[in-house]
Amino acid sequence: MKKSIVSTLALGSLLLFNNCKKDKNSIDANVKNCIDIPIIGFSLSDDVALGAQTAAQIDAETAEFPILDSASNPTPYRILYKIRNNILNSGKVKHKADFPWRLRIINKPDVQNAFCTPGGFIYVYTGIIKVLDNESQLAGVMGHEMGHADLRHSVSSIMNENGVGILLQIASGGNPGALTQMANQLRGLKNSRCHEIQADDASVFYLASTDYPCNSAAAFFRKIVASGAQTPPEILSTHPDPGNRVESIDKKAAENGCSTTKVPTNDEYALLKSSLRL
Ligand SMILES: [Zn+2]
């Protein structure tokens, strides 16, 4: 009995300590609180190694993931990297310098999706570019996906599902098969509802310090609902009601006090679409 009281107190102080040490300007203090086991023994460069392995597998599957070559498609890549840089230069991305934040465009005009692996390997389908109207909406989506990596959601989910052992094996390099196994598992991993809300909150947090309206991820949800998309994109997958997501993003923006009406000065979305022939 005594022992359990001591443990409870210890856990309580740990949680208290975690709350106290949060800088109010940090991403951790500006997203919904999720109950996650702290990530221990898996470094940020391990996130990048895991992401690079997953990305290598994706890039090799050319039928499933027809990736546009950046050398022969300079314009769309330039514009996507510009949007990415606007987000990174918000000064709000915690792991801006730790991850490569590499971008790839997957040429599937019927797939309205985007995702980001651990360690910041970003993938955007042409289908999502096609359905959106402006840079801001795409920035809202990219902010959400980058938020998943920045908040280390996949690593957290792997720990919850498999325990810390497999991650420690990857980190130590003692089991070369473990990296491939985890990269495979990542492909089928769904983000929890709480992580989805955190990623939405991250998008608001980042965009608040850019020229894009900070609630642009909500505009994306409105658009997706209106389009009557049959296959829910990843961003919608674990939340049945996109209307709630719109409400929650707008509420976060109001709390933040950030602008929801600004228009970026150099919106190149029409050029992005025409350069992709969308
Ligand atoms: Zn998501």
**Residue 5, domain member (yes or no):** no
**Residue 160, domain member (yes or no):** yes
What's the mean pLDDT in 171-196?
A: 83
Instruction: State the pLDDT at residue 8.
Output: 39
Q: Which amino acid is at 239?
A: H
Number of H helices, E strands in the chain: 12, 3
Query: How many angstroms is it from 15 CA to the middle of ligand 1?
Result: 26
Query: How many angstroms is it from 66 CA to the middle of ligand 1?
Result: 22
Domain that holds residue 44: 39-275
pLDDT of 79 over the 50 cut: yes
Query: How many angstroms is it from 259 CA to the middle of ligand 1?
Result: 23
Query: How many angstroms is it from 140 CA to the middle of ligand 1?
Result: 11
Query: How many angstroms is it from 8 CA to the middle of ligand 1?
Result: 33
Model confidence, pTM: 0.88
Query: How many angstroms is it from 37 CA to the middle of ligand 1?
Result: 19
pLDDT of 151 over the 50 cut: yes
pLDDT of 14 over the 50 cut: no
The residues near 60 (Cβ < 8 Å, ≥ 6 apart) are none
pLDDT of 61 over the 90 cut: yes
Query: How many angstroms is it from 244 CA to the middle of ligand 1?
Result: 14
DSSP-assigned beta bridge partners for residue 114: 124
**Residue 30, domain member (yes or no):** no
Query: How many angstroms is it from 253 CA to the middle of ligand 1?
Result: 18
Query: How many angstroms is it from 5 CA to the middle of ligand 1?
Result: 38
> In the block, which residue shows the tokens 């993003």?
249
Q: Which residues surround ligand 1, an ion (CB under 5 A)?
A: 191, 196, 199, 235
For 221-259, write each residue's pLDDT tens digit.
Answer: 887 777 666 555 555 555 557 778 889 999 999 999 999
What's the mean pLDDT in 81-89?
A: 98
Instruction: State the pLDDT at residue 21.
Output: 57
Instruction: State the pLDDT at residue 235.
Output: 57
**Residue 132, domain member (yes or no):** yes
**Residue 14, domain member (yes or no):** no
**Residue 93, domain member (yes or no):** yes
Instruction: State the pLDDT at residue 83.
Output: 98
**Residue 161, domain member (yes or no):** yes
Query: How many angstroms is it from 144 CA to the middle of ligand 1?
Result: 6
Query: How many angstroms is it from 189 CA to the middle of ligand 1?
Result: 11
Query: How many angstroms is it from 235 CA to the middle of ligand 1?
Result: 4
State the total domains in the chain.
Answer: 1
What token pair was written down for 124?
A: 């955007």
**Residue 21, domain member (yes or no):** no
SS (H, E, C) the chain: CHHHHHHHHHHHHHHHHHHHCCCCCCHHHHCCCCCCCCCCCCCHHHHHHHHHHHHHHHHHCCCCCCECCCCCCHHHHHHHHHHHHHHHCCCCCCCCCCCCCEEEEECCCCCCCEEECCCCEEEEEHHHHHHCCCHHHHHHHHHHHHHHHHCCHHHHHHHHHHCCHHHHHHHHCCCHHHHHHHHHHHHCCCCCHHHHHHHHHHHHHHHCCCCCCCCHHHHHHHHHHHHCCCCCCHHHCCCCCHHHHHHHHHHHHHHHCCCCCCCCCCCCHHHHHHHCCC
Query: How many angstroms is it from 9 CA to the middle of ligand 1?
Result: 34
What's the mean pLDDT in 184-201?
A: 87
pLDDT of 70 over the 90 cut: yes
What's the mean pLDDT in 85-114?
A: 96
Query: How many angstroms is it from 168 CA to the middle of ligand 1?
Result: 26
